[in-house]
Structures are given as C-alpha cells and as structure tokens.
Amino acid sequence: MKRIAILGTGSVGQTYASKFITLGYDVMVGTRNVSEKLAGTAKDGFGNPPFREWHAANKTVKLGTFKEAAGFGEIILNATQGVNSINALKLADGNNLNGKILIDIANPLDFSKGMPPSLLPELSNTNSLGEEIQKTFPGVKVVKTLNTMWCGLMVNPAMINGGDHNAFISGNDADAKGKVKEILKSFGWLDKNILDLGDISSARGTEMYLPLWLRFFGALNNGAFNIKIVK
C-alpha cells in the first residue's frame, strides 16, 4: 500500500486524507501537536467542526506530528497555512523530505489585515511559496498543483462541467510531475486538461491568481468554479 503524508489538519488536509483512503493509500496526517489537536473543541475560522470530529469519523487515517508524518510518507502533500508552510516543513525536518515528491497546494495568503487576504509580499511577484520551498529544501521534488481552486474540486473535478476544466502543474523534476499527473488522473482529471506550466518559478502565476480567485468567490458566493482555457 502506498504511504502518503498529508501535512495539514484543516479542511484541505481532511479532504485529501479522505480521498486518498478511498483510493487505497495508507494515510498519515501531520500536525504540530497531536494531543492538542485531538483536544481542540473549537470550530475553525470558517465554521467547520473541530478536527477531532472529523478524525473520529475517519479512524483509518493515522495522525502524527509533522515529523512523524513526513517520515512515514513516501509522498508528501503540503496542506498547511501558506504563510507558515516553511515553518511546518522545517518541523517535518528536511531529512524526512529529501528525495521525495512534495505536492504543494498551499497559497501564501496573509489574513492578518482582514478579508480578503493578500499575498505575502516576500512570497509573490518575483518569488512564490513553491519556489521558496524548493530553495529551502533543495533535496525535495516540489510539484505545485491544484492551488487554483476550492479543495472540493481538487479531488472531484467531475463536480462541474463534466470534469472539463483545467489544472496546472509546476516543478523542476519531469519524472515527479509525471507521477503527480497520474495522481490527478486518479482524482478524475482529464490528461488533456492538466497543463504543465514549466519549472517551479511558474508557481508565481498560479499563486498570484488567488487575488482574482477571491474576487470571483466574492461575486459568485460559491467556491465550485474553475478556469477553462479556450483558444
């Protein structure tokens, strides 16, 4: 059974963990502090139930520290808060990441100045979170993908337009991108709709789409929409 580590306990981490279980993976979710996470009873900022409720209903998902999860996973998925992802990955320990594929779906959104959030200046325009992760952990094969849509759609593209819309992929390692593409196809993404944007610097483009995504969301009041490229 293929082992995957999902770093992140929010709604995105939960969505991926559930999906990978249904696909037959052995899944461990990573957090900063396991006992604190299981003790929490507060809803998150979006009104979602506490992690413990989700975990009680998803007992086959293992829970460990970021470090334990990264050590466990053959593949790592970063679903941590983007402005804190580097910190979370340092807690995971680069030695547990080296040589592995790291699927990065996080966005460096700064909520500290209210809604809508803005991109962290040092991780945008001439930089991106995807690149920053690659620079900080050169032994990791970072593949940025699926960060341009609501998490429900990431793992279930068939939800809208018969699955005919686009996902993007960025990364320096062609083999790693090929493997991640196969994972996307297992979610239902059509091969023709997975657009390879090039090396990890192309993550600047997908991360900088977020300010527009947030305005679409504000206008539509619904997250189940996506980009379809027409020529």
Residues that bind ligand NAP (CB under 6 A): 8-13, 31-32, 37, 79-82, 84, 87-88, 105-107, 109, 147, 150-151
Work out how close the CB of 30 gets to ligand NAP at its nearest, in angstroms, rounded to a whole number: 7
Pick between residue 114 and residue 231 the one whose CB is nearest to ligand NAP: 114
- Which of 46/231 has CB closer to ligand NAP? 46
Burial pattern 34-45, b for ≥16 Cβ within 10 A else e, equals eeebeebeeeee
Give the CA diameter of the chain: 52
Nearest approach, Cβ of residue 231 and ligand NAP (Å): 26
Q: What does the chain come to in residues?
A: 231
Buried/exposed code over 142-161 (b: 16+ C-beta within 10 A; e: otherwise): bbbbbbbbbbebbbebeebe
Nearer to ligand NAP, 12 or 133 (CB): 12
Q: Which is nearer to ligand NAP, 33 or 175 (CB)?
A: 33
Q: Which residue is nearest to ligand NAP (CB)?
A: 10
For residue 204, the minimal CB distance to ligand NAP (Å) is 15
Least gap, CB of 197 to ligand NAP (angstroms):
16
Cβ(69)–Cβ(149) below 8 Å: no
Residues 6+ apart with CB under 8 A from 91: 32, 65, 66, 67
